[in-house]
Amino acid sequence: MKKLFLTLLFSLNFAFANPLEFNTLSSDFTQTVTSDGSSIKYSGNFITTKELAFWHYSTPNLKDIYFSKTRVVSIEPDLEQAILTKLDQIPNLTAVLQSAKKEKDGSYSAKFDDITYKIELENNLISKISYKDKLDNDIEIKLNNVKKDEPIDESKLEPIIPKGYDIITQ
């Protein structure tokens, strides 16, 4: 009887687990920004934990963006500069996903700073995030090769600003 109860408890916990919760998440991405009928595509990959995140943009320009709970560091090799910004009203993926609610169509939605994010899943993993930003741009981020709760090299989450780069503090 005790084994049956524990099996049932485990099954219920698994059945009601939130697919948006994670300890680590990594993926390749394609981000499309559409405004006034024209679009620009960005691509790259990201790694995130509950505390830190790293987004590497490989096209159209190289850019690395590091998020912590208190600041954002953007390193732009083409410009030989790093921009340091306090994290204030900038959503991070973890915060958005933690506040998401399941919709009737199976997708999830989350609201952060007056922006509504739609999150779609495929095989219980995030496959797409879409929203309209404050500049009225339509943003769509498609994820592929998503890996959830796998070991990551956390040293990749710490920014290293190359010597000689201009440092801009905002």
pLDDT in tens, the chain (170 residues): 444 333 333 333 333 457 888 899 999 999 999 999 999 999 999 999 988 999 999 999 999 999 998 899 999 999 999 999 987 656 667 778 888 899 999 999 999 888 999 999 999 999 999 999 989 999 999 999 999 999 999 899 999 999 999 999 98
pLDDT for the residue numbered 90 = 61
- Does residue 85 lie in a domain region? yes
Residue 113: which domain range? 19-169
pLDDT for the residue numbered 91 = 63
pLDDT for the residue numbered 169 = 94
pLDDT for the residue numbered 89 = 54
- Does residue 14 lie in a domain region? no
Strands (DSSP E) found in 37-137: 38-49, 53-59, 63-67, 71-76, 81-86, 101-102, 108-112, 115-122, 125-132
Distance CA 18, CA 44 (A): 26
- Does residue 127 lie in a domain region? yes
- Does residue 1 lie in a domain region? no
How many beta carbons lie within 10 A of that of residue 64, not counting itself? 19
pLDDT for the residue numbered 19 = 81
Number of domains forming the structure of the chain? 1
CATH of the domain at 150: 2.50.20.10
- Does residue 8 lie in a domain region? no
pLDDT for the residue numbered 93 = 73
- Does residue 5 lie in a domain region? no
- Does residue 54 lie in a domain region? yes
- Does residue 139 lie in a domain region? yes
Q: What are phi and psi of 2, to 5 degrees?
A: -65, -40
pLDDT for the residue numbered 132 = 95
Q: What are phi and psi of 165, to 5 degrees?
A: -75, 145
